[in-house]
Amino acid sequence: MEIVSPRFRLVSALLAAASLASGFQLRDDAGRAENDLREGIALTSKSQFQQAIPHFLAARGHVTNTFALEFNLALCYVGTRRFPDAIDLLTRMSDGQRPADVQNLLTQAYIGNHNPEAAMEAFDRAARLTPRNERLYLLVSQACLDEGLQVVGLHVIDTGLHNLPDSGPLHFQAGLFHAQQDDREAANREFQLAKKLAPNTAVAYIADAEGALLAGDVQKVIGSAREGIGAGFSHYLLLTMLGEGLLRAGAAPDTAEFAEVQAALEKAVALQPGYSSAHIALGRVYASEGRGADAIAQMELARSLDPRNKAVYPPLAAAYRRSGQPEKAKEALAALARLNSEDAARIRDADGSHAGYVSGKKQDR
């Protein structure tokens, strides 16, 4: 059973969809195009979306099954936040092969482009095609969490739980939405239900750790993550939560705890190279060890994966300052200021007398 975190972004969808293309047959006389397509798929599977795009573009017009190429190209556009380009491709593919997969990705592209009405329509089409597809609800609801589209996200969760009422991961996602709305009681209720419905799974341990994180109990976060890992669930989220928890608890260089942090985070990024938060935490570890170049490399990778993740910019700026690159430090802080300004503008522009809220619930931004 699979679960997504508040910081997880599209990678499971990208990897799963990329694998769909690996079996497509290409024309025998298009060796170069075949190599480009295969190389693009390989890069996509490693979350190297920007690097994959030129290979897909080079193969265009030279392969028999254009769906494989176009769909993977759209995946890369979503992965690099080129949402209008993805929407253009996907809307032209919507009546072709694998319509549910196309509508799933199109929904995420509309969410990233902050077009909630179109996102809702595309999601409803996907849900009608595959009403019991748990992955659909998880990925789309996560995209909504990442982009702050609460209304669409709650509709996705409601639809998913209507069709799959006993899904532990979906109840976990519901808990994340309640947590984002600062409703700790409802969030904990959903986390507990997720544990009950999915006992002895990674979901249960992650839900336990998330509940502890919500309560500010760092030691319980560490304990839950260690327990899950000890039970055989080497899940990248548990590894990242363990690493982050130990750092918050004060793990210092040249200690056993710090070595545990580094080992956990290095394993997390190996298991899930597209998870930006693990790269940020690992960058902080390397910075503490005086490995400035390695720290910057990890943080810049995190930034490329999720440029709207504000957590990357302060440690990245600090790493640049320590490495004697003050201009790059200023640029990182300027990028953070732009994000803060954009978020403030969204709140100001939200409808309703209470900026961003209606009936106690956050509006879509």
Task: Supply the pLDDT for residue 349.
Answer: 67
Helices then strands (H, E): number in the chain? 19, 2
Assigned domain for 351 exists: no
Task: Supply the pLDDT for residue 263.
Answer: 97
What angle in degrees, to the nearest 10, is found between the helix axes of 66-79 and 31-45? 40
Domain that holds residue 112: 1-22+33-147
Q: Please work out, in degrees rounded to the nearest 5, the angle formed at the alpha carbon of residue 311 by the alpha carbons of 308 and 313.
A: 80
Question: What 3-state class would DSSP assign to 314?
Answer: helix
Task: Supply the pLDDT for residue 146.
Answer: 83
Partners of 361 in beta bridges:
358
Assigned domain for 349 exists: no
Q: What is the largest CA-CA distance in the chain?
A: 64
- How far apart are the C-alpha atoms of 86 and 130, rounded to whole Å? 22
Assigned domain for 362 exists: no
Assigned domain for 11 exists: yes
Assigned domain for 344 exists: no
Neighbours of 302 (CB within 10 A): 26
Backbone angles phi, psi at 361, to 5 degrees: -115, 145
Question: What 3-state class would DSSP assign to 198?
Answer: coil
Assigned domain for 166 exists: no
- How far apart are the C-alpha atoms of 287 and 296, rounded to whole Å? 8
pTM confidence score: 0.77
Task: Supply the pLDDT for residue 335.
Answer: 95
* CA dist list (Å): 169 to 86, 152, 332: 28, 18, 35
Q: Where are the beta strands (DSSP E) in the chain?
A: 357-358, 361-362
Assigned domain for 59 exists: yes
Q: What tokens does 2 get? A: 């699979």
Residues ≥6 apart with Cβ < 8 Å to 309: 7, 276, 277, 280, 302, 303
Closest CA to 180 of 365, 10, 341, 361: 361
- How far apart are the C-alpha atoms of 286 and 352, rounded to whole Å? 45
Closest CA to 279 of 233, 319, 312, 245: 312
Listed as ranges, residues in the chain with pLDDT below 50 are 1-29, 351-365
Strand 361-362 and strand 357-358: the pairing is: antiparallel
Task: Supply the pLDDT for residue 48.
Answer: 84
Question: Which CATH number does the domain housing residue 63 bear?
Answer: 1.25.40.10
Assigned domain for 359 exists: no
> What DSSP designation does 354 have?
B
CB-CB contact of 176 with 237 (8 Å): no
- Count of structural domains, the chain: 1
Question: What 3-state class would DSSP assign to 357?
Answer: strand
Question: What 3-state class would DSSP assign to 362?
Answer: strand
> What DSSP designation does 312 have?
G
CB-CB contact of 241 with 270 (8 Å): no
Closest CA to 181 of 207, 144, 209: 144
